[in-house]
Amino acid sequence: MKHDCIFVLGLPGSGKGTQAKRLAEKLGYFYFEMGEILRHVAADHTPLGGTVRRAMEHGDLLQDEDIVEILKLHMRHLEEGQGMIFDGVPRRVGQGQFMLDYLRNDLKHRDFGTIVINIPPELCETRIASRAAQEHRADDTPEAVRIRVKQQMATLGEVLALLENNSTVYQIDGTPSIDEVEKSIHAALGIV
């Protein structure tokens, strides 16, 4: 496995969180789950917490400056040279450029990979409804999911263009079973 830093992207319900977590465990990499971090920030009684909470309740993407502020707070605890898996971030070009610069300059990462887990947009709602029933997440209402899918589809192309110029991109079919998707990821990355 040549990449010392991997971004895992996909629409809501694509399985990116499950696959990113499994991959981090397999490789012994640090797992950076943006959604979980945002849920913790949203629970804080701070101006930023309120901004994050409102955005999540409505399914809106946060502004780049808010995400960058959160990234700065959480990425400063990462160790130089430590393998990392980023789940669900970057979602916009500004976030991606900040992350690439920080990872290269401050944490000395040199070899980036990007895994894009693809599912049809109509499958997002079905999968999220199932997850919402199990996990009771406040940001998984049908309306919030529709908004998130629409916004993420609009920004994913620009983010991918940035990452294609700075990393090796692997397109993965996210419609088969969890185990089959994991096998596809391992095959793409050359993991045995």
pLDDT digits (tens, 9 = 90+) for 162-188: 999 999 999 999 999 999 999 999 999
Domains in the chain: boundaries: 5-189
pLDDT digits (tens, 9 = 90+) for 60-110: 888 889 998 898 888 888 888 889 999 989 989 999 999 999 999 988 998
Residue 25 CB neighbour total at 10 angstroms? 11
Q: Give the predicted TM-score (pTM) of the model.
A: 0.88
- Superfamily of domain 5-189, CATH level 4: P-loop containing nucleotide triphosphate hydrolases (3.40.50.300)
Residue 136: the pLDDT is: 67
pLDDT digits (tens, 9 = 90+) for 22-70: 999 999 999 999 888 999 999 999 999 999 999 888 878 888 899 988 9
